[in-house]
Each structure stands twice: as C-alpha cells, then as structure tokens.
Chains A and B, each alone.
Chain A
C-alpha cells in the first residue's frame, strides 16, 4: 500500500448513517443540529440504528424524527418520558430515548421525568437546556437565568415573582433509580467531544440495563436570545456554565465499570 492509498482509505469524517441527509429547519447558530449529529454518531458506533426508537418532544426539536434515521414517535408536550416508558415496557430489548427541551422537560413535563427516573426506567434522555422557550418565540423557561429578559419576563426574570431556575440534573441525580446523570455543554469543540462521550455512555447504560440515564446539554438559541451565533456560544460559556456547572452528578459504580471497559 502506498502512502497515497492509505490516505484515501482512512475515513476521518463522514455523514453518520443514522442522520438523514437533509438540511434541518433550525435557525443559524442553533445547537440542536449538533446534538442530533452527536446522537447519530453514537447510534452508528454502537450499531443500534435498527433497534433504536426516538420519542420526540414538543419544542423546536418536534421534527427530530425527520432528521434521525430511526423509528420515531411524537409525544404530547412534556409527556415523552411517559410515552417512552410505555414503549420500553412493551419492547424491553429496544433502545428507547427521549429528546426534550427545558420547557418540555423542566416545566410541563416535570412530573413525568421525575417519575421515570424514580422508576429507574431503562430509557435514555437527552435534555437540551437553552434557557428559553424556542418554538413559541422566546418566553421565559424554567431554566432562564435570574434577570434574563425574555418576551414574558420583559423586566428580567425576577426570582421573587417568577421563581428560581431549576437545576434538573442535580434534582434527578438525587433520585434513587437514576444511574447516570451528567451535564455537558455544546459551546466549543472540546465540550462537544465530551458531550458525545457522555451520550454514548448514556446509551450503553440502557444497553446494560443499569437504570435511568440523562445527559443535559447546555445549548444556544441565538434567535430568541437576540445574539449572533458566536456571541450566543459565548453567552453559554459566560452565563450558563457558572449557573449550571458541568460535570458528573451521578455515576453508579456499575456505570463506571462500563466506562472503564471502554
């Protein structure tokens, strides 16, 4: 083999098979697309495309099933973990995951996510925290930061009136039944790589039947934040990360063993 042939044969980058080859409806600079791609790469690497079932949320990612090349269903707003429970209990050997925004998971769907975790439901949840209601045009989310201006907190979020932002990862980590609960971010390449690794672990936890797994991804919404795409990533780093520290909040020993074998 010549050097040249070797170069030709080493694939360093390609379109994941589990990602449909179409362009998305997401706004420029939105990180939903990155999260989709990471999930697709993990599905490819684990070779589970034909076993995986996606439960899509109500939110900007409502059409996630158009972009991921796996079976998909669309839940009512906030109910994805309940629907995923029904699917997983009926098809225990399939890989079932929910993909949910902060309004979906941390407001209207709080009960469903907490109880799915408490039951130790063998599902995986990818939680997109962009601190805003994207789809409805920029209202305050349960994860909006103190003083954050949104279309429904025009004077800035005042915790005395509008409540405090909820740290869902910490909450779910405290629940018996959750096996792997971590927070990552999508604001730069290094963090994106870490996010992918966590997503992979979360799916492997499900394969190994170890319990409920959730990866929170801090995400950008330039359109509704009124920022340029680069500034939005900077905003994630400078404002969201301090409030929502990145890290592992629950990793059962059995999960650590999985990670070590990797």
Chain B
C-alpha cells in the first residue's frame, strides 16, 4: 500500500469497490456526486452493476432488490435524498438483508444548502424510516477513516444482516488528504439465505409483512435481540489528550476533528481537557463515555453542526447533574477551533481550572 492524495467521496467509492461492492444504485446530489461519478466509470470497467436511478426512492429499492440476491450493494446520497430513502430503509431493515448507505449530510431543513452539516443525526440514528429499529451508523472524520469505515460497513452489514449508514458531510467528501487504499478484495460468496431461484432447494421468501400482532412482535423481538448484540459489541470511539481530562469535549465527524484543534490549544494553555469522538453514532459509545465520566470528568462541551442532537445521547449517558455546554453551528456553518476554545475556557474557568487571563 502506498500513500496517495485522495478526495473523500472518491476514496469511499474506491474503498467500496475494493471491499467487494457488486451493485451500486444512486441519484446525483451535491456534495456526494463524485462518489456516483467515480463508480459510473469503475463499476462499468469491472463489469459490475452501476445504475443511475430516476430518484432516491427508486435507488434504495434497487438496493433492496440487489441485497435480497445476496450481493454487496450500496447507494449514496445527501440529506434530501436520504429523506426519500426512509421507506426503503425500513423495508430493508425489516427484511434483514445487508446494505450500505452513504449520507454526505448538508444544511437543512428543506433544500437548505450544500454546505457541511450534521443535522441528519436524528434521521439516521433514531430509526431511518418507520418502525422500531436503529441502523448501524459510522461517522468518519478523515479520508483515511472514511476508507477504513467503508470496509467495516460492508463487513458489519453482512455480519448482522442489517442496514449500515456511513455519514459524513461535504467537508469529508470534498477534502483531499493523504491516505492508504487497501488492496482489492475478492467478491465474497453469496450467503445461503439469498434469493437466487429455488434450484435444488426449498424456496426462499424475503418479506416484511407479518399480518398478526403475534408474528410481528416475534419478528420485532428478533430484530431487537440482534440490536442488543450490536449495542454490546460494536461501540467505537476515538480519544485524544484524554489523560487527566476534567473537561471533556465531545464531537463526531467534522466537528470532532475541528474540536481536536481547539482541545490541543486548550491543553497548550494548561487546561486539563480531552476529546472524545464517537465513531459509531449508533450504537452510541456509551460504555466508554461512562467510564471516562466516572474517571473524573467534571464538565462536558458538546460540539455539533446541528442544534444539539447528539447531546441528547450524551445526556442519557451522563445523567442530569453533569454540566454540559453546547457549541452548535447550524445550517451549513462549520465551527472554528478558536470559537470552540472560548467555550472550553469559559467552562474551565467556571470549574476553577483556568484563570481569568487564560488564552486571550
């Protein structure tokens, strides 16, 4: 493997190809389109499936069909398109077939803009459609992590026969960074539950309808049992400057990355502050966060490019007493390290961890 300068969207697309993507369906939308464009060439060259669908509604249902046949399949979009996919995602989750969906979030609500945003946190972590389930949600903060998590996304989707969402924003998608691209993996064999034509075996049916409450409750229990396993096993997070941290800054994806600069500056000014960056948004890395809090964290600064959606998950973990400050940018605005630093200093001063003159 050699280090290359790679653009986030292209890196994810190429990583998907190398992770064994066999069928891609998508619809153009900024700031994700380079992903679709890259695959429009690569998939055709490799003799794999690429279809530009007539809409995101169609794209996700094409993915649904392909997933039923047991191939590795995915789609990619941005917020308004992911809204249109909600119905399909719910059917896929109910049918327990694996797929990967990339959401390069943009400023909403409505048409909003194409600037970086994290306002889909609820939309992707809470259910992604109607019914009662959580998809697995991965949030990279760099091009390298986007590549690594793309591979992981396909593996988790297969392992748990579940929907995996990879969420970033225009900043991750448009940025170029040095990164290493793993070698091409062979296409994995089709799983035995796939719909392939009932030749020499009894027929397979994949459906999401369960007419009676008893049947549907049983199906829901099965899904919930699987989610419980995912929740126990798959929490992931990254930490920086965590040694002796009394103030904990929490942010995912782009905000986590920007916050890291602020935390570094605060450490240089002698403030005992650390960064906790959730990598899985669902399951939320609650176990590690609880351990950190028990280890002496006295206050938290949450940094998000939304109005404080992840903050609700943080609150569930840390309880009512813990002071939490929110540094929130909305509608496509990206936080700046120096602004986050101000909030960190203010919190530290309240706790007596920084003098009034710190970082002026």
Contacts and interface: CB of A to CB of B under 8 A. Distances in A.
A81 interface: no
A217 B266 CA distance: 59
Interface string A73-112: 0101110000000000000000000000001000110100
B205 to A, nearest CB: 28
A142 B54 contact: yes
Interface string B15-31: 00000000000011110
Interface residues of B, number: 20
A137 interface: yes
Interface in B301-319: none
Nearest to A158: B44
Contacts of B29: 136
28 contacts: A58-B111, A62-B111, A76-B111, A103-B28, A107-B27, A107-B55, A108-B55, A110-B54, A133-B28, A135-B30, A136-B28, A136-B29, A136-B30, A136-B33, A139-B36, A139-B52, A140-B52, A151-B33, A152-B33, A152-B36, A152-B37, A152-B40, A153-B52, A154-B37, A155-B41, A161-B44, A162-B51, A162-B52
Interface string A138-162: 0110100000000111110000011
A161 B50 CA distance: 8
B248 to A, nearest CB: 40
Contacts of B51: 161-162
Given A62-B111, A108-B27, A139 B37 contact: yes
Interface of B: 27-30, 33, 36-37, 40-41, 44, 50-52, 54-57, 80, 110-111
Contacts of A58: 111
Contact of B55 (A78, A139, A155): A78
Contacts of B33: 136-137, 139, 151-152
Nearest to B49: A161
B320 to A, nearest CB: 39
Nearest 5 Cβ contacts at the A-B interface: A108-B55, A139-B28, A107-B54, A152-B40, A136-B28
Contacts of B41: 154-155
B105 to A, nearest CB: 16
B15 to A, nearest CB: 19
Contacts of A162: 51-52
Contacts of A153: 40, 52
B111 to A, nearest CB: 6
A137 to B, nearest CB: 6
A152 B299 CA distance: 49
Interface in A191-219: none
Interface string A114-143: 000000000000000000010111011010
A152 B54 contact: no
Contacts of B50: 161
Contact of A74 (B54, B80, B111): B111
Contacts of A152: 28, 33, 36-37, 40, 52
Nearest to B50: A161
A177 B111 CA distance: 31
A140 B36 CA distance: 11
A56 to B, nearest CB: 10
Contacts of A110: 54
A167 to B, nearest CB: 15
A74 B112 CA distance: 12
A122 to B, nearest CB: 26
Contacts of A74: 111
A154 B111 contact: no
